[in-house]
Structure 1
Amino acid sequence: MPEHDPNKPHEHDRPEDTGAEAAEDGHIPLSPSERQEAAQINKEHKAEIKAPSLLDSDEDDDTCPRCHARMPSPDAVVCFECGFDQASNKDVRTKVGVEEVDAPGEVKVFCKADRIGWKAPLIAGGVALVGAAVLAAINAQEGAALRDVVRVLLYGPIQTGLGFVAVVATARLLEERIGRMDYAAARMALAVGLFYLCFQLGQSVDAHGMVRFLIGAGLGAGLYFAVLWVLFSLTRTAATMLACSHFVMWLLFKLLIVVVNWIERG
């Protein structure tokens, strides 16, 4: 019966915190799958003569020359704590630690719902457009009142529809989800209605025609941009993109009218 060396700790008396000590040294214990791989390597090398290691140490053969943790058995060549293979001077794993993977980014929503709802902006936009039509009748030249009123009431909804198309186009350009389309249409109706109202207020100023145009267009464009910026909760860049897209849509619409009239004339 083999004698037990009192100076050599028994296998059951080995400290249980070797993994913690190894972790403090920067080594993380092997996972269960890696332990199985290490055990297989130890089994294959059990009957072989251990090759000299580049990390040979004068310490006890039962300790790992790298992390100094206890080896699984006296004839083991792979440490279960740091994964070092003494026979090949390599690790049984290529990376120690946890790989951090960035979570997929959440897609932003261009038009979100709010406490105001969609009915209030829609009603306010309609009232503003009717007010613009009344001012258009007051500012119209003699015999052109009906024409100017119809123009405002007709172009207002068309302008709102073009603005909604601009919302969709801008959201696609920014790679964002459109979100609530009813809110988008209502907010655009309010912006367009206020634009027409401010424009007609500018026409009421007693000044040269070009001055009246610049005053009305400037006030209308400023209020239009403010509505888009605030109600859509956009950055200045996104609000500018939306306003420019809407303006391009309007120019294309006017160009289409010119082309149709030119074709009809002949």
Structure 2
Amino acid sequence: MATGGSRVDRRSLFGAAAATGIAALAGTISRAIAAPASRRPFAVRLSPPDPSRGWTTASIGRSVNGRPIGVWRSAAPRRERRRVVVVSAIHGDERIVGPLGHELARSVLPDDVTLWIVPAANPDGWQAGTRNNANNVDLNRNFPWAWRASTGGPAPLSEPEARALIEFVPSVRPDLIVWLHQPARYVGPIGLTPVEYAQAWSTQVAEPVRTGVTQHGGSETWCALVAGIPTILIEVGGTEITPGLLEAHRRGFEACVRELRPR
């Protein structure tokens, strides 16, 4: 990973970061979503979780416009057995999922789990409020699985954000990776991912489980079908953020992780 432009050992501790309250952040995003498009303050800052709880932060790379692609890491457990990665906002106009990633950092997890959260995989798109990155490429069509030139950019992994993710995710060797999207309203276990992981989440949020989902050039599909990582795709329903919505998905995530088996 790169911090301030330099490479650091992935096993080293990440630098500490300042905290912000999820309720205040949720309120800010809710007002942004409700505002007319011409007046939306898209550049909402997703501040790291509370460092006093052991959270640390680093960068896994940089965007087209040079913005850091941040990652948050939970406190290291005494005896780590399971690793989970959550990736949010690969589409910058999906405004619920950034705060949801922050909410998942508040999860109460088993004491053998390490959690990594990428709060905005597309930081230029998040800044601008656009689905695509600064090169106008859909990053979730830029991965090397059934890639198509019509939607996936000039070549597979042509974009720095996709390259950063495809390097980072396998380096962590996660037992599960979760990709957060909106607004299609389902929980999707990709490939051979155990369906009970998705069912545990689905029960908490009252959204259906959908199996058999694939996406040409998709990050979640590459993770499951190429890298062999158990993968859950969360499609949050609707466009309005509320504390109840965030809390329900946090409970779903907690239930999912309780079902998780080490690889």
TM superposition score normalised by structure 2: 0.25
Say which structure is richer in strand: 2
Q: Which of the pair has more CA radius of gyration?
A: 1
Which structure carries more relative contact order (alpha carbon 8 Å, separation 6+)? 2
TM superposition score normalised by structure 1: 0.25
